[in-house]
Amino acid sequence: MIPRGFLFSAVEANIKKPGRKDLALIFSESVANVAGVFTTNRIKAAPIILNMKRIRSNKGQAILVNSGNANACNGKRGIMDAIEMSNHVAKYLDIKPSLVYVSSTGVIGTPMPMERIRLKIPELVKRLGGSTVEEVAEAIMTTDKFSKVVKKGIKIKDKDCAIVGICKGAGMICPKMATMLCFIITDVNVDGDILDRELRMAVDNSFNKITVDGDMSTNDMVMIMANGRAENDIINKGSKYLSDFREVLLDVTYELSKMIVRDGEGATKVIEVEVRNAKTKNDAEKCAFAVANSNLVKTAIHGGDSNWGRIMSALGYSGANVNENEIDIMMGDILIVKNGVGTGNDEKANIYLKNKEIKLIIDLHKGSHSTRVLTCDLSEEYIRINASYRS
């Protein structure tokens, strides 16, 4: 189930280490509407700076992605390298450089090995159509343990369309945006402004609702290309199929975001933190992220210890409007705190915490606003991975 008019290629450029494909290309045979969301980190990698300028046109045709090197904090050389990479791709594809976007992931502060990349771009273009979307997903991995691909079909009137997303991410995962690269392609004919709005909405409800370790990278980006090759009636503000498109796009991004959490560096458990009945939406999010980002909560869950006092503590410093005597906490369907006091069900909760997927439900009894955040446990393996990332 691949959208019409898209081709893929992946090759080995030996960017960091030999023995794996690390340079990939996603190409639309026709100019597509594009939208993107980029890191809010004030220190941005060279490809992000370039892409943020080019995406103002809302048009694109190719995305070049490499793993092994972030091309971040490399000064003017980094910008020039990103431009050169896009220019080479444009030359061999015979398209305008402004239609080419560049994305990089890997070690920060190391110059790009341009001598090797220059040699591989002609081969990359020549092999377009010879690789699968799964191979592209594998080529962009860094510390990921598995590749991440989601494919969804969507029926628009009498047209069968598809939305496919790939992403990478396992560490430095923090909202706005989550540390990751994500590329979504679709053959749906959708208005450019609507595409931008719907992508931002999907990101806010998926990638911006996950956290692994509270760190934010310099290279985060989500991009979508919609080439309209399905030739459906255009989806615009008044289209009756807009809600269908929105639902499927959110399904794609939410499934990818859950894969990132499941693949969190050193993670053994996926944790969903649901906050109910907060006074405001902002309060709900403050509470959910305070709990989800708490290293004490994450390590307790890793060890199978239902230490709910750590959850109460996180709620207290979250900055949200909370009252200790109104808070209920559940682990799965086990009520462990009622009106701020333990219920004596800790041993039952300890058994529940042996599961691979954990749900924490926190009811503030303050209002009507709710939210959900995905996170994972924190283990010794996280330290091992990040202590030797550059070696």
H-only helix segments in 263-280: none
Query: Is pLDDT larger for residue 91 or for residue 270?
Result: 91
Tokens in use for 239? 């289209």
The model's pLDDT over 154-200, given as tens digits with 9 standing for 90+, comes to 999 999 999 999 999 765 445 454 457 999 999 999 999 999 999 99
Confidence of residue 345 (pLDDT cuts 50, 70, 90): very high
Q: Mean pLDDT score of the chain, rounded to an integer?
A: 92
- Alpha-carbon span 353 to 94, nearest angstrom: 56
> Rounded to whole angstroms, how far apart are CA atoms 51 and 62?
12
**Do the domains 270-387 and 6-262 match in fold?**
no
Q: In this predicted structure, what is the pLDDT of residue 220?
A: 87
Rounded to an integer, the average pLDDT of 14-19 is 92
CB 108 within 8 A of CB 78: no
Please give the pLDDT value at position 242.
98
**List 39, 105, 179, 211, catalytic entry:** 179
Look-up: residue for tokens 């959110």? 250
> Would you list the domain boundaries of the chain?
6-262, 270-387
Of 13-22, 52-61, 190-199, 263-272, least confident by mean pLDDT is 263-272
CATH of domain 6-262: 3.60.70.12
**pTM score, whole prediction:** 0.84
Give the Cα separation of 20 and 4 in Å (integer). Answer: 28
Across 109-118, 143-152, 243-252, least confident range: 143-152
pLDDT of 308 strictly over 50 = yes
130-141 average pLDDT score: 96
Select the highest-mean-pLDDT range: 75-89, 289-303, 370-384. Answer: 75-89
* Interatomic CA distance for residues 252 and 207, integer angstroms: 11
The pLDDT-based confidence of 41 (bands split at 50, 70, 90) is: confident
The per-residue pLDDT for range 356-369, each reduced to its tens digit, is 999 999 999 999 99
Least confident of 133-137, 230-234, 259-263, 300-304: 259-263
Measured CA to CA, the distance from residue 35 to residue 51 in angstroms comes to 10
As a whole number of angstroms, the distance between CA 321 and CA 343 comes to: 23
3-class secondary structure, 302: helix
179 is catalytic: yes
Measure the CA–CA gap between 353 and 137, rounded to whole angstroms. 32
Q: What pLDDT digit, counting tens, does each position of 198-238 carry?
A: 999 999 988 888 876 555 567 889 999 999 999 999 999 99
In this prediction, residue 179 carries a pLDDT of 52
For tokens 């990132």, name the residue: 260
Give me the pLDDT at residue 326, please: 98
Asked if pLDDT for residue 21 goes beyond 50, the answer is yes
Does 123 score more than 50 pLDDT? yes
- Is the CATH code 3.10.20.340 the one for domain 270-387? yes
- Output the six-digit token pair for 69: 């090197």
Helix (H) and strand (E) counts in the chain: 11, 14
Assess contact for 37 and 101: CB atoms under 8 A.
no
52 φ, ψ to 5°? -65, -30
DSSP string of 47-82, one letter each residue: HHHHHHHHGGG-EEEEEEEEEEE---S-HHHHHHHH
